[in-house]
Every structure is written in structure tokens, then in C-alpha cells.
Amino acid sequence: MTLLRRGRWITGIALLLLGGLYVRALVFTPEERLQGLAQKIYYVHVPSAWSAMLAMGMVGLASILFLLLKDARYDRFASASAEVGTAFSLVMLTTGPLWARPIWGTWWTWDARLTLTLMLFFLFIGYQVLRGAVTDPGLRARYAAVVGICGLVLLPFIHLSVYLFRTLHPMPIVLKPGRPSLPGSMLETLLLSFGVFTLLYVGFVMQRYAIGERSHDA
């Protein structure tokens, strides 16, 4: 089975699981008392942010490996991961304001966490604009790798921004020192959502990598 077909299978399974996640989150996961139903946006917003950051992490690591080893496969992987990360960061940036509006009373605020995640989105876009603008493959790969490494450097600042700055965005309640401060059923749904979105990332990247590889060979 080719990489493209395997990617399609994994994406198909992940989409079925996404349907299951929707049912579990909307029907079987309890409603939060203060925020009401809007809190359930959590189960798509947080895992999409996770996948976007995973994607940029992979772009950065593949970029470092490309610069060290000069292997074009790492460049193609970074390119694939950047495109997939753009899709997940778009989910993050659209679901976030839809949650913020009823809870904070505003769609957007220029606090550290939100501004840095917007920067992450622009880095994804910039990475792809750069790849489209530079025609020489060697230069394109090197310039793109530098942008990818910048994205990797940005990730810890995004995660730690809620500790470093005064921000409206809540602190992590799962990815933090100590036990997660979330009731069991909500935590199970959140962990399922992390699994589903990670699987989606894997399926998307496999497909996108295969497409990039075939375009390169053609």
C-alpha cells in the first residue's frame, strides 16, 4: 500500500473518530456550570492548538535535520507539516473567538497568548509564501528551514505566555505540573480529542508528504 493510500485510510479512521468525539463531547460529556455549553468548545479548540503546535514543532525539527543532513526528505516533510499546521491553526483561531465572545465579552484581545498564536499562524502562512516565492530548490529549502526553526523557538513562549504575562487566557489545566484539574469525564473526552486530532495530523501529513514526493518526482 502506498503512503498516499495509508494516509487516506488513517485520515478516514480519524474522521470517524472525530464524529465519535463530537457525539461524546456534545451528548455524553457534562455541561460546565458557569460557562454552559460554550465550554464544550474546549474539546475542539485545545486539541487543534495542540496539533498546530505539534505541526510547527515537527517543521522545526525537520528543518534542523535538513540543515544538518542536507536530505531533501526532511524539507518535504517540513513543507507537508507546515501546510497541515495551517489548517489546524485556522481551527484554533476560529474556535477561540467563538468561545471568547460569550465568556470574555469580546471576540479578540491583544494579550500575549492570543497574539503569539496569531504569530504562529502567520509563520505557517509566511513559510508557504516563502516556498512559493523562491524558485531555486536549494535556496527555498534553506530559507524555509530558517523560518521553521523560528517557529520552533516560538512554541515555548506560546505555552509559557500565560505564566509570563498578565493575560485573559486561562492557564493550562492538563499540561502543567501536578495532576490535571478537570473532572474525570471531561478529562477523558479531552484526552480522546488529543488522540483524534493527533491521528488526523498523522493522516494529513502522510497524504501531503506523498503528494509532495510525487510532484517532486514528476
Partner 1 sequence: MTPDVVPPTGGYMVAAYVVAAVILLGYTVVLWRRGGSISKT
Residues 6+ apart with CB under 8 A from 28: 185, 189
Q: Are 14 and 200 in contact (CB under 8 A)?
A: yes
> Minimal distance in Å, beta carbon 190 to partner 1?
15
In this complex, which beta carbon is closest to partner 1, that of residue 89 or of residue 161?
89
> Minimal distance in Å, beta carbon 4 to partner 1?
5
In this complex, which beta carbon is closest to partner 1, that of residue 7 or of residue 60?
7
Q: Would you call 111 helix, strand, or coil by DSSP? A: coil
In this complex, which beta carbon is closest to partner 1, that of residue 23 or of residue 164?
23
Q: Which residues bind partner 1 (CB under 8 A)?
A: 4, 7-8, 11, 15, 18, 22, 26, 31, 33-38, 40-41, 44-45, 48, 84, 87, 90-91, 94-95, 98-99, 101-103, 200, 204, 207-208, 210-211, 214-215, 218
Q: Would you call 32 helix, strand, or coil by DSSP? A: strand
> Minimal distance in Å, beta carbon 79 to partner 1?
13
Q: Would you call 36 helix, strand, or coil by DSSP? A: strand
In this complex, which beta carbon is closest to partner 1, that of residue 32 or of residue 188?
32
Quote the CA–CA distance of 168 and 109 in Å, as a whole number: 8
Q: Summarize the chain as % helix, strand, coil (round to 5).
A: 80, 0, 20
